[in-house]
Structures are given as structure tokens and as C-alpha cells.
Structure 1
């Protein structure tokens, strides 16, 4: 039975007074054990007797009993990753998140802490690790992810009552250092691109700037997802793999008139089911091939600065947010953000404003000289 309080024993050994007590911990297989730990209090000559050595021991034990009220894990971080954290948590994550965790562990965290017991890793050591990575020139986002992975591991160990505290909790995030600023396209840039691009790339860009969908969500659309003026966002397609939406929730996006006509025309003559933007192999098109082979060459000819697929989403949110009359909660629903817990409760009530919002954004981007009212 694990004790919550102990006094320890004091004795002489090799000319020193030593304190011995039991250290509550877990073995790598999750079993509780109580190995003996020895602390040297000092030379016998430094004390006037055993009673004085006992007082010194009591100070040590007071700290032990306060700091470690429950057993600590004797498992190393590497053992925890391989035997518990990876199979029970990482392998259940979405593909992209799982890949990120595995790469950060292999290339960074394991090199520093794999053989160190979790209970021996202090906040100072983690702070030094994070700071070193930042000074080595890694992007702020990468350093932040390293901190997050470590925090998730220790938080899990605390939740399982293997550790008393999470040493990463109070470690501050590094200063933001953006290597390439994400940007929104201007209305003029969008107009120039749409005049030159051909389908399906043209339609993909239109969906991105007028509905704010992620590129993976656009490529994950099926023919059936467009139904009676509404686009059903149910899945994503990324790097050859099908997955769910980013927040795990489906959403319905009202399609404005001009985009709706373009979708109907593109869908006409195609099979009634299957991927909407399908390649020769029967799978969705590659986002990398589309932007590198079709978008960037034309953008270069037009003198449009570098942008990514995600820039289309930034364009949508920037123009929609700055327009001023579209409620922020409507924009969050259209973008598929999940941080506002109350958003779902207003989904049906906001169906009308959402349709007005996408029509306003369509007019702002595709018909800049036309009033948002449609006049």
C-alpha cells in the first residue's frame, strides 16, 4: 500500500549521516513499487549528535512529503512514448496530426529526452530545450508544436496519476517569428486570376475565395455534396488520403448565385456520384500539382506575389470581416471554426444571414463595381 506520509530513518554510513526513505513510483509496466532512496545529510563531524541529524532529515522529508503526495513514474520519456502515449493517443489522432507528432518526437524530442526519467525532467530543462530550438532558427510554429507535444505527454501522465505535476505548464511560448507572412489576395488579383485560369482550377479558386473552404475540403467534395444551392462539407482530401473535416463536424454552406451556376455547369455531363474534382486515376486532384503547374505560372505572368491555397481562405475572411455588416459568428460558422461553443445553437437561426453573407462576399470579389445589394 502506498503511503502518503513517511519520516525516513537516519543512520551512519562511511563517516556520514544518511537519510533513507521509500520513493513511491511506477515501473514501466505500470506497477507501483517503493524502492529505497538514500540522501547524504553530511559528515558526522558536522552534527552534534543523531538528534541534530534527525532535525536535518525532517526538513528533507517535509519537502518530500509536500512535493510528492502521490507516486511518480520511474518510466523514461522514451518508454512512455513507445508503450503508452503513442499506441493510446497518437495513433488515434488524425493523419496529419499523427504525422506531426511522430516527426517532432523522432527529430527533436527523442534526441534530448528519450532516456531520461519523466520525473527527472524539470521545467528548466524543457525551457532550455525550447529556447535552444528557437535560437537554432526553427520557425516559431515548430517550437510551439514541440512545447505542445511535450505538454500533452506530461499532462497525460498527470491525468493517469503517474506524475504530480506538468513541468511544461508554465513554459512560455517563444516570440513569434514568421518566415513567410500569409496574405490575402486583393480583389484585383482575384479578378486577374479568374480571367486566365481554366476549369477545374478556376472553379476551385472561386470556391476558395467566395466560401472560405480549406483546399482539402474543396478537393474532398463529391458530386452529391452540391445540392439545391447548398454545399455540404463532409470530408477532406490531403496528400492522397481521405479524412474528416478539421474540427470533426460537417457543415452546410449556402452557395451564392454566380458560383452556383458555375458549379452546375461544371457538374453537367459528369457521373451523378463520385469525386467532384477527380483526376485520371479516379482520385481527387493533387493540391500541389494544381497550384504549381496551373496557378503559379499564370500568377507569375500577371506579376502577382507568392500566395498559397490558404491565402484564398484568408481572402474570404479578410474581405468578409472588413465588410462590416456580416456578424462575426456567421463568419465563424462559414469558416468552420469550433472555438465558440455557442455557435451550433444558432445554426438554424443564422441560415438566412449566412446566405446573405456569401452573396455579399461573392459580389465584393467577383463584381467589385456592383453594389452588394445586387443592384
Structure 2
């Protein structure tokens, strides 16, 4: 790659090709003037040529942040993630990083770490949770890292910015007595089967709402987990395939739960007969009385109402999954078996989440070691 030196008025300047624009394909040039002596212009040109040859040259972008992030998302990011994730990320991008972002119209090369920190402070003042702000932080970091890879920037202002720390909340679970109390208040409730599935299987809410009658094996007494209902701000509710091979699993269930499922199916048939052709048959175990997909928010409303009435510990729906796992572990069930039942990608995840619940067997281990050593000594 070559450049040239030119005299412009009383000063010298250099002009050099720096490649082509990745979007337009047009040739780009770098020009710099104001040198009093020709040899100074030549020295500056030589330095630039070396940077270009070593692939170290960066041409600062004057593209605004909003334009760059949209282009990055459309041309790069969304092609590498699932549809549900893309929809959620797109919502976050437009709402928080474009529409409600003070530096959205600022040039990429002029955005500073101070801008990023101020942005986080703004979101904290607006009442957003630290965990949600961290998602903004993660996307910002990815955007600027891509700008560096595309030779638009030489440094990432997000690296030294301080996002709010996430406070790990203490896990809340129900005792067996609270489970019994809650289920007593569930009698006659349409969503009784929803809560029974969560408590007796540890299934995720999306997995329960995506469950179909064809997934239940009445003879083997098992439930196959094949899909999940996901929420997206754009399309509202869509059914998705499971992310990992471990998430797609078969769960053994007790006869009690199977009987409850059969009873629920009979009640569902009553609604089918009443509505006739108006019933939207999709084969879902948990659905509206018209047969369509169930809004997850309705499940939460019912749960909150029942918890208040039963006067038991207020927990999230996801904590029913924690409750299921906790009881299994406290009863000595092997962590690998628990991981498989929950659909964790790796037993390590299960262990990290529930390690504090594993019964302390230190004394037993010490006795086992002593017994082994004594056997060896007796043979001497």
C-alpha cells in the first residue's frame, strides 16, 4: 500500500489508501496536512504505512452509536443467536440503548467510559434491577468489541466502566408442610395441575406451558420434555425447542400425579364439549379454557393469590423448581440424577446451585477412611 506527499500552499500533506469501506465497497483515503517540512510529512506517512502493513491501523469511525449498533445487530449478532433471544435482545437494544440512551447519537469514537458510567447511573435512578442493567452492559461490551474487530476503534470504553453488582438473593423454598398447605388451597383451581407439575417434577414454567398430552406416557408413567413456551416483547408468546440436549429429557412421575393429569384431562374435555367448534385444539395440557396457549402471567397471578390466602412464604414460580430439587437432595438423591431430572446441561450447575443443601457426611467419610486403614494394618 502506497501513499504520496503533496505540497498544499506553504505546507506539506500526505494521502494514503487505507482500504475499502466494508459497507459501500468504496475506496477510502487518509489525508493529513499541516507539515512545515516535506521530511516530516514523509516520516508521518511511513509510520502510518507500517501500522497498515502490521494490521494495527484504526480509522476512527464517525458513525453514530445508534447507527452502528443497529447495523451490528442486523448484520452480525442476530444471525448467531436463537429467535427468542434475538427478539428479547432487539427489544433491549431499541428501548434502552437507542431510544433511552443519552449517547445514542454520539459518534462511536467519541464515547467515553464516563459516558458509560453515567448511563448506568441513569438506569439505576430509573429503578431498573442490577441484573437487567448488567444485560445492557453485556451488549454494550459486545458492540464496542466488534467495533474494534472491524477496525473502527482502538479501545473499548466499556471495559473500565463499572456496572452495578448483582446481589445474590438467598434461595427461598417451601417446607413440605407449606407445600401441603398450598395444594390444599389449590383444590378446585383450574391451575392446580400447573402447580402440581412444578412441585412434583421440577419442570420450568415454560416447559409446563409447552407440555402436550402426547408427551405423557401413561404406561411408563413418564413425561417427555420437548418444547418450552417463551415470552418475547415483539411476538408475545412462542413455542421454542429446548436449548441443550440435557434439557430434552424424560421424567418419571408418581401415580398420584398421573391420576391428577387424567382428572385434569377429563375436565378439559368438558370445556371442549361445551365450546364445540370454537375450541382451539392444540393438544396442550395447560392452556386456556378455549384451548389456546396459556399466558404465563396468569399463572403468576393465581399463585400470588393462593400464597396470600394460605399465608405461607412468598416465593417465585421458579422457586417451586428449587423446592423440588432441594427436597430430593436433602433426602440423599445423587446429584447427577437430580441434574438429569432438572435438565441441567452439567451436574456442576446443580452442585453449584444446591451444594449448601447436601447433607454433611464428613464424619461418615472419616469413618470410612479409618476403616480402610485399619483393614490394611490388620494384614501386616
Q: Report the TM-score when normalising by structure 1.
A: 0.69
1:28 paired with 2:28, answer no
Contact 1:26/1:162 (CA < 8 Å) preserved in 2?
no
CA distance in 2, matches of 1:92, 1:131: 27
1:186 paired with 2:175, answer yes
- CA drift at 1:134: 5.4
1:241 to 214, 237, 240: 237
Contact 1:19/1:38 (CA < 8 Å) preserved in 2?
yes
Partner of 2:261: 263
1:38 paired with 2:31, answer yes
SS at match of 2:287: coil
Taking a change above 3 Å as real, the CA distance of residues 73 and 319 of structure 1, as seen in their structure-2 partners, is: farther
Query: How many residues end up aligned between the 2 structures?
Result: 328
Contact 1:140/1:175 (CA < 8 Å) preserved in 2?
yes
CA distance in 2, matches of 1:257, 1:156: 54
Taking a change above 3 Å as real, the CA distance of residues 16 and 328 of structure 1, as seen in their structure-2 partners, is: farther
Partner of 2:374: none
C-alpha offsets along residues 248-268 of structure 1, whole Å, 9 cap, x if unaligned? 653211213432333234335
C-alpha offsets along residues 282-323 of structure 1, whole Å, 9 cap, x if unaligned? 21333322331x3222311332343221121222233444x2
Contact 1:209/1:315 (CA < 8 Å) preserved in 2?
yes
CA distance in 2, matches of 1:144, 1:200: 37
SS at match of 1:337: coil
Partner of 1:253: 251
Taking a change above 3 Å as real, the CA distance of residues 265 and 340 of structure 1, as seen in their structure-2 partners, is: same
CA distance in 2, matches of 1:127, 1:65: 33
CA distance in 2, matches of 1:270, 1:138: 40
SS at match of 1:280: coil
- CA drift at 1:117: 6.0
Partner of 1:367: none
Partner of 2:343: 336
Taking a change above 3 Å as real, the CA distance of residues 324 and 152 of structure 1, as seen in their structure-2 partners, is: farther
2:184 to 153, 174, 195: 195
Partner of 1:219: 209
C-alpha offsets along residues 229-277 of structure 1, whole Å, 9 cap, x if unaligned? 1101112234563412441653211213432333234335755982112
- CA drift at 1:57: 4.4
Structure 2 gap segments, 5+ residues each: 270-280, 351-380
Taking a change above 3 Å as real, the CA distance of residues 132 and 169 of structure 1, as seen in their structure-2 partners, is: closer
C-alpha offsets along residues 95-136 of structure 1, whole Å, 9 cap, x if unaligned? 542332222221222245655666x37674774466445554
2:290 to 281, 287, 301: 281
1:208 to 172, 182, 198: 198
C-alpha offsets along residues 30-53 of structure 1, whole Å, 9 cap, x if unaligned? x2x3322223465x2xxxx43345
Taking a change above 3 Å as real, the CA distance of residues 100 and 182 of structure 1, as seen in their structure-2 partners, is: farther
1:308 paired with 2:308, answer no
SS at match of 1:244: strand
CA distance in 1, matches of 2:41, 2:145: 38
Taking a change above 3 Å as real, the CA distance of residues 267 and 212 of structure 1, as seen in their structure-2 partners, is: same
Structure 1 gap segments, 5+ residues each: 344-375
- CA drift at 1:193: 0.4
Q: Report the TM-score when normalising by structure 2.
A: 0.68
